Structure 1
Amino acid sequence: MKKQFAVIGLGRFGGSICKELSRLGMEVMAIDHSPEKVDEFKDIVTHAVVANSTDEAALKNLGIRNFDHVIVAIGDDIQSSILTTLMLHELGVKHITVKAQNDYHEKVLEKIGAHEIVHPERDIGIRIAHHIVSKNVLDYLELSDEYSIVELIAGEKIHGKTLIDLDIRAKYGINIMAIKRKEEINVSPQAYEKICRGDILIVIGADRDIDRFEKQLLDEG
């Protein structure tokens, strides 16, 4: 059976989630207090509904507790975000993901039952900053305060060398999960795999170890 999602708040963040979930073939209910925004999504999602998400009776009437996953994507109205999350938790929703505006908002959301909290603006900012600072970093995904997955461009220093030549795991404590070369992706590359200049290395590890690897092996000066 298809998973059922409800997205509350149809701004840029919530709207993009609705579109992508629908594209992936999921059943999606889009909810917003604005009739204009709801109208935008009526032909994109399974159901588009005008409702006040801080009204417990309205949420019950929508059968919100029957959804597999509810995403609270309310924009600048932190109070509405908190009240909505609290009601979803009290109604027994299985999985609640909430967009947080700041660290204080996140702390409150954690205490009132949010299962997952995202900071889209902060996370995008971090990724852009890493890309700007280093010409080797193509993309950056923060897993925790200390661990990340990073896409790095292989430079001249490691061109023609194999993974066993570089002994990356032993020397740097990181793992190369995959190597992208043009249109091909080699997942879990073997030790004898040669790296070519311009390859994209998908690396996972502690931030300090990834930084050390990048500076010593990838920097071209």
Structure 2
Amino acid sequence: MAKESRSFAVIGLGAFGSAVATELARFGNQVIGVDSDERRVAQMAATLSSAVILDTTDEMALKEAGIDQYDIALIAIGRDIQASILTTMNLKMLGIGTIWVKASNKTHHRILSKLGADRVILPEQEMGRHIAQMLNNPVVQDYVSLGNGFSVVNIVIPERLTGRDLSSLGIGTGYDLRLLGVMRGTEFRSAHTANLVLEEDDKLILLGKRPELRRFGDAI
């Protein structure tokens, strides 16, 4: 069954907002982009379902533009904290089902959380943690934090392990980790593939707690 597309309103079309809006549109969703800057709106008009110039601190202007009909809103307003807060309040008043907001700092984060935003994002901090994780362990190509200390990581097999049997790595025995699968180029191999022999640049997709993932990465 095909995934049902959803509708998104992305408010603030700076570097962060425009990147999110472009990807959401690429996934086949209905996306409206909103900004007070005519130039930014014009740049996104051909990419999104629609793009409008709007003062989002004006609740009636939001309603007249039909923003209240969208399923999810992302408020990606940059440094204008007052506009971000007022826009969040307006979208709550309009009854938007899910509201995500980009915060500029921790104080802004706390205010948005108190206003009832479903998720508040600090992109610079989140990306900083992401990069630190990969710098700390060079074999980790990418990772996703799942909370409570658990992460899913993408670990590249070094050349010296080429030709080794997958079972020889001790995943699930010597290391308290779960192997979710192996990526070989663009092909996914199941974790249950019998007698899989590793090739250079294979990527292991592992689930586990960060200290154990770090111990495994250091060992290989």
**What TM-score do the two structures reach when normalised by structure 1?**
0.87
Q: Distance in 1 between matches of 2:108 and 2:147?
A: 18
2:102 corresponds to: 99
Cα offset, 1:151, TM superposition: 1.3
2:9 corresponds to: 6
Cα offset, 1:199, TM superposition: 1.6
The answer (yes or no) to whether the contact 1:179–1:189 under 8 Å persists in 2 is no
Q: Distance in 1 between matches of 2:123 and 2:180?
A: 25
- Residues 168-187 of structure 1: pairs in structure 2 closer than 5 A: 168-187=171-190
- % identical aligned pairs: 35
Alpha-carbon RMSD: 2.2
- SS in structure 1 of the partner of residue 84 of structure 2: helix
The amino acid that maps onto 2:197 is K
- Residues 1-221 of structure 1: pairs in structure 2 closer than 5 A: 2-144=5-147, 146-155=149-158, 158-190=161-193, 192-216=195-219, 218=220
The amino acid that maps onto 1:180 is M
1:154-184 C-alpha deviation (Å, 9 max, x unpaired): 2366544444443422432221212112332
The answer (yes or no) to whether the contact 1:65–1:94 under 8 Å persists in 2 is no
Q: Distance in 1 between matches of 2:108 and 2:211?
A: 29
Which is further off, 31-40 or 80-89?
80-89
Q: Structure 1 pair 89/167, CA: closer, same or farther in 2 (3 Å)?
A: same
1:23-76 C-alpha deviation (Å, 9 max, x unpaired): 222211110111121111122211111111111111121222211111111111
The amino acid that maps onto 1:76 is R
**What TM-score do the two structures reach when normalised by structure 2?**
0.87
Q: Distance in 2 between matches of 1:114 and 1:167?
A: 43
Q: Structure 1 pair 71/181, CA: closer, same or farther in 2 (3 Å)?
A: same
Cα offset, 1:13, TM superposition: 0.7
Cα offset, 1:210, TM superposition: 0.7
Q: Structure 1 pair 199/171, CA: closer, same or farther in 2 (3 Å)?
A: same
The answer (yes or no) to whether the contact 2:137–2:217 under 8 Å persists in 1 is no
Stretches of structure 1 lacking an aligned partner (at least 5 in a row): none
Q: Distance in 1 between matches of 2:197 and 2:120?
A: 40
Stretches of structure 2 lacking an aligned partner (at least 5 in a row): none
Aligned length: 217
Which is further off, 105-114 or 8-17?
105-114
Cα offset, 1:152, TM superposition: 1.1
Q: Distance in 2 between matches of 1:45 and 1:142?
A: 30
The amino acid that maps onto 1:105 is H
Cα offset, 1:191, TM superposition: 5.9
Cα offset, 1:85, TM superposition: 1.4
